[in-house]
Structure 1
Amino acid sequence: HGHSHGHAEGDEHDDHHEEMQRIVTSDGVFELSIFEEGVPPVFRFSSEGSTPSLSPSDVTVTTIRSDGSRQVYNFQQKAGFLESTSDIPEPHGFKVAVVLPSGEQTVEFTEHAHDSHEVDTRDHNMRAAYIHVMADAAVSVMAIIGLLLAQAFGWLWMDPLAGIVGALVIANWSYGLIRQTGAILVDASADGRIEGKIRTVIDESGDKLVDLHVWRLGPGHLGAVVSLVTHDPKRTSQFYHQHLAHFKGLSHITVEVLPEAAV
């Protein structure tokens, strides 16, 4: 628990996921990756080594999911690589047919449990206990040092100074803990990335999101309330539960489905 506490702030930044597949052809070696920095994820295609770069019209990618559904992706030119013009809906486990000037090749991407790292797994009860013990130890050490210096050099002001420094240290630690637990107490949105992924799933299904709220239930667990308007009267809440169930850390989902006629 102490290790995760020490690195908590750093883990909130510079967090992205990228999975890459190499494609070897008669024209050279290329790389196809799923790049995800924030939301939404996209395909990136680039040449490896001295392989000549291809233009957007030379590359077409088709995902083939386990249920047989297919989606075609076209590309646009970026700085040093090609990027798909449309987003990749979750989950990211599928076969990919890559059509190049030299022919068609198939690669496969597997869904990794990287979403679990996006969910706050810190136990604030444990962190509060950790801060309490560390604060007691720090204040005790500073008080002993202050008394020794006062005895050795007559610095009577060292004892109150140690108390003031200890109070400032404890206040700093407590402020961070209160800020994080306070957000939980008022059910503030806990994970912007998960919210973005849920929005992407609803948008990809052709429906309209009316309301969305994600909050923290506990370490590594989130709850979500989703209200949406669907164009398909046959779709029930179970349809959306199945599409959202693969998000790691999303432990409780409430879905309200409203038909277009009712809005």
Structure 2
Amino acid sequence: MSNAAAQQSSWDHSHVFLGEAHEASERRTWGVIWLCGAMMVVEIVGGLIFGSIALVADGLHMSTHAGALLLAALAYTYSRKHAEDRRFTFGTGKLGDLAGFTSAIVLAMISILIAYEAAIRFVHPVAIHFSQAIPIAVVGLGVNVASAWLLSSGGHHNHGHSHGHDDADHSDGRDEALPVATASGPAVLSVFEDGAPPRFRMQWDGAKPQPAASVSIETERPDGTRQTFRFADRGSYIESVDEIPEPHAFIAHLRVRGAPDHALVFEEHEHGHSAHDRDNNMRAAVIHVMADAAVSVLVIIGLVLARLFGWLWMDPAAGIIGALVIASWSYGLIRDTGAILLDMNPDERLADKIRQAVEACGDAVADLHLWRLGPGHLGAIVCVATASSRETEFYRKVLGRFPSLSHLTIETVRRTD
């Protein structure tokens, strides 16, 4: 291979930014469509044969359900087939988010329609054929439960709710925690950085912390750099006085009075289940099924109470509650997928880590753009202001420890201060 060809090979990189379980999710979605389609045909044909308008109506409702899932399945298939199409500058990973956003709009319209129909029935109650309506609702619930099981069989999905930390990193703020044996009993040494500058934190399991003066740490980095950390008492734990510079990859030589020295290895890494790992196309499909199941449960409860006690108002009341639940899930999906389609920063904490990693080299981040390319894939453009003669490849290696940065563009500008 010529030098030019070898250099060209080093520049080439993939623009396929699909989720790890993309093909499995595609197969499951098509499977659920076939299930819903079969149920639709059985209900419509059965309703026409036995003269049940309610059965025909539920079959037609099932067709809208299958149509919504068809949108998700087509998005999976199209994005897979065109994943390497150069017309898509950053691949087809966002197509699932576009499908999820569209499904969320459809869900919002469905919630409005259900609420409207329920309101009319409050004012103008209609006769209910309980012997037909209740069994149909039970069968519909069974199909939705089976569909949800099939769709979720490949993993856990977030059904519209979110957490304060978007499930990124550890919810208790510990970047990494390692067990340590001391004279006072077992303890845990961690790098703590939840909304605060990163510091070492040491806690004892069910025992009073040792005096801060009896503990010290010396870090040893791969380049040979060493730094000593003193500790201060913080009540139920002790904490290092100085902040820990990025990156958090080093050997920590821990000295605790009355116990052997420990050499603890800390490695910088990202933790799974971040918000930018979420497959919003599958999430939208699951929400469609869950919304239908929730409505089925409420309808069954409303119909049973209406039949037992004559509370005809329970049927539209159940419809109103179902509409509110669907609207809430729809809002969460619109918010999250809309943010991705508008290229909002998907991970503020990762953005801070990128800045800290560059600043640890004595440079500054002049400009940073971080956005989602697909489930588990982020794109970043980083402009580094430096007074050194370092090439961009140096910073590419520095940021290479963040595996979710699937497409990284680096620019350097000369700093004169």
What TM-score results when the alignment is normalised by the length of structure 2? 0.52
RMSD value over aligned CA atoms? 3.5
Partner Cα separation in structure 1 for residue 334 and residue 160 of structure 2: 18
Residues paired across the two proteins, number: 255
SS across alignment from 2:211:
coil
SS across alignment from 2:378:
strand
Structure number with bigger Rg = 2
* Structure 1 gap ranges (5+): none
SS across alignment from 2:158:
helix
> 1:124-152: per-residue Cα shift (whole Å, max 9, x none)?
11111011112223334444554565566
Structure 1 residue identity aligned to 2:413: L
Partner Cα separation in structure 2 for residue 171 and residue 248 of structure 1: 35
Distance 1:152 1:29, change over 3 A: closer
Distance 1:8 1:107, change over 3 A: farther
Distance 1:6 1:172, change over 3 A: closer
Structure 2 residue identity aligned to 1:19: A
> Counterpart of 1:247?
402
Which has the larger share of helix? 2
2:227 to 72, 97, 116: 72
Q: Is the 8 Å Cα contact of residues 115 and 247 (structure 1) preserved in structure 2?
A: no
SS across alignment from 2:267:
coil
> Counterpart of 2:166?
12
What displacement does 1:19 show? 1.7
2:320 to 150, 159, 164: 164
SS across alignment from 2:401:
coil
Distance 1:8 1:113, change over 3 A: farther
Between 1:115-124 and 1:174-183, the stretch displaced more is: 115-124
> Counterpart of 1:258?
413
Partner Cα separation in structure 2 for residue 165 and residue 124 of structure 1: 25
> Counterpart of 1:96?
252
> 1:149-180: per-residue Cα shift (whole Å, max 9, x none)?
55665544444333333222211110111111
SS across alignment from 1:128:
helix
> Counterpart of 2:219?
63
What TM-score results when the alignment is normalised by the length of structure 1? 0.78
2:393 to 224, 234, 238: 238
Distance 1:71 1:8, change over 3 A: farther
Matched, 1:195 2:351: yes
Give runs of aligned pairs for residues 115-154 of structure 1, distance below 5 A: 115-118=271-274, 120-143=276-299, 146=302
Partner Cα separation in structure 2 for residue 51 and residue 151 of structure 1: 64
Partner Cα separation in structure 2 for residue 30 and residue 154 of structure 1: 64
Distance 1:23 1:72, change over 3 A: farther
SS across alignment from 1:187:
coil
Structure 2 residue identity aligned to 1:3: H
Partner Cα separation in structure 2 for residue 8 and residue 165 of structure 1: 17
Partner Cα separation in structure 2 for residue 188 and residue 51 of structure 1: 43
Distance 1:19 1:163, change over 3 A: closer
Distance 1:223 1:8, change over 3 A: farther
Structure 1 residue identity aligned to 2:414: P
> Counterpart of 1:34?
190
Structure 2 residue identity aligned to 1:191: D
Partner Cα separation in structure 2 for residue 153 and residue 51 of structure 1: 63
Partner Cα separation in structure 2 for residue 248 and residue 35 of structure 1: 20
Partner Cα separation in structure 1 for residue 374 and residue 270 of structure 2: 19
> 1:67-88: per-residue Cα shift (whole Å, max 9, x none)?
x421313325241414141324
Matched, 1:83 2:240: yes
Partner Cα separation in structure 2 for residue 192 and residue 120 of structure 1: 11
Q: Is the 8 Å Cα contact of residues 231 and 239 (structure 2) preserved in structure 1?
A: yes
* Structure 2 gap ranges (5+): 1-151
Partner Cα separation in structure 2 for residue 100 and residue 140 of structure 1: 61
Between 1:160-169 and 1:138-147, the stretch displaced more is: 138-147
What displacement does 1:118 show? 4.0
Q: Is the 8 Å Cα contact of residues 372 and 378 (structure 2) preserved in structure 1?
A: yes
SS across alignment from 2:190:
strand
Larger relative contact order (Cα-Cα within 8 Å, sequence gap ≥ 6): 2
Partner Cα separation in structure 1 for residue 276 and residue 385 of structure 2: 30
Partner Cα separation in structure 2 for residue 77 and residue 260 of structure 1: 38
The percent of aligned pairs where both chains have the same amino acid is 40
Between 1:173-182 and 1:114-123, the stretch displaced more is: 114-123
Structure 1 residue identity aligned to 2:279: D
Partner Cα separation in structure 1 for residue 307 and residue 259 of structure 2: 85
What displacement does 1:123 show? 0.9
Structure 2 residue identity aligned to 1:236: E
> Counterpart of 2:85?
none
Q: Is the 8 Å Cα contact of residues 187 and 203 (structure 2) preserved in structure 1?
A: yes
Q: Is the 8 Å Cα contact of residues 43 and 88 (structure 1) preserved in structure 2?
A: no
